[in-house]
Structure 1
Amino acid sequence: MNDEVTPAQTHAPHRSSDSSPGSESSPGSASPARIAVIGCGSIGGAMAAALDRAGFQVTVTARGAHLAAIQGEGLRMTGAFGDHVAHVQAVPVLDAAPDLAILTTKAQDAAAALADNAAWLRGVTLLVVQNGVEGPTTAHEVVDGASVLSGTSSIGANVPRPGVVDVTTPGPTVVCPGPGSDLTEARRVVSLLQSALPARAVENTDGVLWTKLIVNQVNALPAITGLSIQQTIADDRLRRVLVASMREAVRIAHDSGIRFGGAQGLDDSMLTVLAEAPAVTAEFVPLLLAQRMGDVPNTGSTLQSVVSGRTTEIDHLHGAVVRAAEQIGRRAPVNALLVRLVHEVENAARSVDGRPAFRTIDQVWAEVEDLL
């Protein structure tokens, strides 16, 4: 059966930045839908600004200087989705129930963010868009009565300074059924999002989450070396390391009964080739991902966290592969090594100029060569 049930738009609709928020109504409604984005970082900020431009009534949660900047000057979006200043309501925690909530925090912050906002999320449709495979289950456990949808985003974005989100890759958002929801609910939310963002509904929830987990294998090496994703894939030795970690993850998933869903140009048949073909042939997958990213350097969310001194999501990315392997009595040594190296970089004392203590390519190769 084909996983994809709703066609994606190839681009996001554009509305001039001088249009007032809420000037367009949501489908089937006399007034604009109220959408809350919990965690207005890079992905959440891009989604919030695009939704505001499409006419929705948007509230975002944020912290610190980012919150203050949005409250004072609005949320400025630049890059691949076009330029727009979104005058959204920005708050530390929600103060009213939305029609739709979108959780876009880092995976390790999800439970706390949901608990802080739980009073306004009961009975609300909650779309979880974050890395890893455990987010929807966490949301279902923390928020009573929420209709939880699972989602992934292929948007590439970063926050260069407080109050600004720069979109480098205008990828689609995929919405799947989750705990307490069904495909009909996923389609309804997609119909809402498509006026602002490229989006589609997919039935194979676990498969889509695992495909995104394979794509997110590109995050560890930039965090370890300080290089962009494109630079790590261009290097022959680092590309071999990446292919090894991807092959390991795909094999663990297949042995766990996962059938990969279509996402970011990958599907089960392509990932089966990745796992079973000679390693040099399997290099087509990271090379394809780099091509799809384009020429604008993509640092990846894990490196962004290392540079800013925040805790990374590595335990929910490569660490999720290690846990899945343990659950079926297996090991994932390449993924386990990458988890360790990322933690060593993020926990190490910084250099005199304040930069993280990144590893050289030679140092990474010396650590991993015996596992390949």
Structure 2
Amino acid sequence: MRIAIIGAGALGGTFAALLSRDGHDVTVTARGAGLEAIRDRGLRLTGGYGDVTAVVDARTTLAETPDLALVCTKAHDARDAIAANAAHLDGIPVVVVQNGLAGVEAAEELLPGSECFGALSIIAANYTEPGLVRVTTTAATYLGRGEGDVDDATRALAEVLGRAVPVVPIANFRGAQWTKLVVNMLNALPAATGLTVQETIADPRTRRILTALMRETVRVGIARGIRFGSIQGLSDGRLRFFAALPLALGQLLPRSMGVRMGAVPNLGSTLQSITRGQATEVDFLNGAVVGEAARAGVEAPVNAALTALVHEVETSGRFHSIDAVVAAVGALGRRQQ
């Protein structure tokens, strides 16, 4: 099958290398040093799925129409990337592999002739250098669309992709996006402090703030009438129970996530953007929670504070100390007792 990967970063690079290893004819879109490295040395993958050097066609935009496309850009780049390649995407199945809540809707708007699916990947991967990706934690990718049951098209697509990388077709994809949004609360504190995700979870000060972030996100989802989808051991019932716990007990959830990650340092996708001097997708993660809270007529002060702190790091290039983060956010979290 001819498969296009739009955005050959950490996740896009992982999917591209594994699909190429499975025998597919893969084209990737990339920019700058990444594009040059892939053209010169191939797309290199190390870590959890083994070592792969994939020889792929690398371009700034697609030159021909593939059989299937995966959009793997950061959330804030998705609309422009889809629009730039729309001539070769409209009319084929398109999978949006992305954080946040709006990616699939953007694809459906820009590609009216396409069947659009969403994928939520729990794989942890670091974009180590241009053209080189290291998988630090292997995990499933969850594929679906809409709020209903799994349909035949989703099952067939999951079967194709699942030969290369673990893919699980799921019902209630919209609810699963919210569950992944809760998981993505792991990203903001590393981006604000420069700590790894594991270090963030291990420190009791940042773990408490992380718990407040996650619990606030669940409560906003509940206020929006969301039925959370089941991924990675999280379910609607478990998240609602978590949202009702006091902060001290709620810290068991991020602790369990840290255990699942293992010991290989996980930088988180937002911190990786910071270290590369790129804009982050914080507005589509913590900022999305703030926006959804406003629509529900409630507030999300912890997410708002972390959004502002990450933007300060983007602007200044300097990370905040844990004490500074606690001073800025800690009191907000304590209000949630």
TM-based fold match above 0.5: yes
Matched, 1:299 2:267: yes
Q: Match of 2:222, SS? A: helix
1:247 is matched with: 215
Higher helix share: 2
The size of the alignment, in residue pairs, is 332
Amino acid of the residue matched to residue 35 of structure 2? L
1:319 is matched with: 287
Given that residues 148 and 178 in structure 1 are in contact (C-alpha distance below 8 angstroms), is that contact kept between their aligned partners in structure 2?
no
Q: Distance in 1 between matches of 2:311 and 2:176?
A: 27
CA shift digits 1:69-99 (9 cap, x unpaired): 1111111110001001100111111111111
1:310 is matched with: 278
Q: Match of 2:85, SS? A: helix
Q: What's the offset of the Cα at 1:100?
A: 0.9
2:91 is matched with: 123
Matched, 1:339 2:307: yes
Matched, 1:47 2:15: yes
1:58 is matched with: 26
Q: What's the offset of the Cα at 1:299?
A: 0.5
Q: Distance in 2 between matches of 1:42 and 1:85?
A: 15
Matched, 1:200 2:168: yes
1:158 is matched with: 126
Q: Distance in 2 between matches of 1:122 and 1:368?
A: 44
CA shift digits 1:122-158 (9 cap, x unpaired): 1100000111011001111112311100111011111
Q: Distance in 1 between matches of 2:38 and 2:319?
A: 32
Given that residues 6 and 30 in structure 2 are in contact (C-alpha distance below 8 angstroms), is that contact kept between their aligned partners in structure 1?
yes
Given that residues 75 and 85 in structure 1 are in contact (C-alpha distance below 8 angstroms), is that contact kept between their aligned partners in structure 2?
yes
Q: What's the offset of the Cα at 1:43?
A: 0.2
Q: Decide which of 299, 322, 327 is 1:366's aligned counterpart.
A: 327
Structure 1: stretches of 5+ with no match in the other structure: 1-32, 349-355
Give 1:61-140 correspondences, 5 Å limit.
Answer: 61-140=29-108
Q: What's the offset of the Cα at 1:269?
A: 1.7
CA shift digits 1:268-295 (9 cap, x unpaired): 1221121001211111110111111110
TM-score, normalised relative to structure 1:
0.87
1:189 is matched with: 157
2:234 is matched with: 266
Q: Distance in 2 between matches of 1:357 and 1:72?
A: 33
More divergent stretch after superposition (234-243 vs 259-268): 259-268
Given that residues 36 and 59 in structure 1 are in contact (C-alpha distance below 8 angstroms), is that contact kept between their aligned partners in structure 2?
yes
Q: Distance in 2 between matches of 1:166 and 1:331?
A: 38
Q: Match of 2:28, SS? A: strand
Q: What's the offset of the Cα at 1:183?
A: 2.0
Given that residues 262 and 268 in structure 1 are in contact (C-alpha distance below 8 angstroms), is that contact kept between their aligned partners in structure 2?
yes
CA RMSD of aligned residues (A): 1.3
Q: Distance in 2 between matches of 1:147 and 1:89?
A: 24
Q: Distance in 1 between matches of 2:226 and 2:286?
A: 17
Given that residues 217 and 242 in structure 1 are in contact (C-alpha distance below 8 angstroms), is that contact kept between their aligned partners in structure 2?
yes
Given that residues 74 and 98 in structure 2 are in contact (C-alpha distance below 8 angstroms), is that contact kept between their aligned partners in structure 1?
yes
Amino acid of the residue matched to residue 185 of structure 1? A
Given that residues 273 and 282 in structure 1 are in contact (C-alpha distance below 8 angstroms), is that contact kept between their aligned partners in structure 2?
no
Q: What's the offset of the Cα at 1:305?
A: 0.7
Q: Distance in 1 between matches of 2:239 and 2:92?
A: 35
Matched, 1:143 2:104: no
Amino acid of the residue matched to residue 361 of structure 1? I
Q: What's the offset of the Cα at 1:182?
A: 6.8
Amino acid of the residue matched to residue 197 of structure 2? I
Aligned-pair identity in percent equals: 49
Q: Decide which of 259, 269, 281 is 2:249's aligned counterpart.
A: 281
Q: Distance in 2 between matches of 1:322 and 1:369?
A: 18
Given that residues 146 and 174 in structure 2 are in contact (C-alpha distance below 8 angstroms), is that contact kept between their aligned partners in structure 1?
no
Q: Distance in 2 between matches of 1:246 and 1:167?
A: 25
Q: Distance in 2 between matches of 1:192 and 1:323?
A: 36
Q: What's the offset of the Cα at 1:199?
A: 0.5
Amino acid of the residue matched to residue 342 of structure 1? V
Q: Distance in 2 between matches of 1:170 and 1:84?
A: 15
More divergent stretch after superposition (320-329 vs 256-265): 256-265
Q: What's the offset of the Cα at 1:60?
A: 0.5
Amino acid of the residue matched to residue 328 of structure 2? E
Q: Distance in 1 between matches of 2:36 and 2:65?
A: 22
Structure-2 change in CA distance of 1:182 and 1:141 (3 Å): farther
Given that residues 156 and 167 in structure 1 are in contact (C-alpha distance below 8 angstroms), is that contact kept between their aligned partners in structure 2?
yes
TM-score, normalised relative to structure 2:
0.96
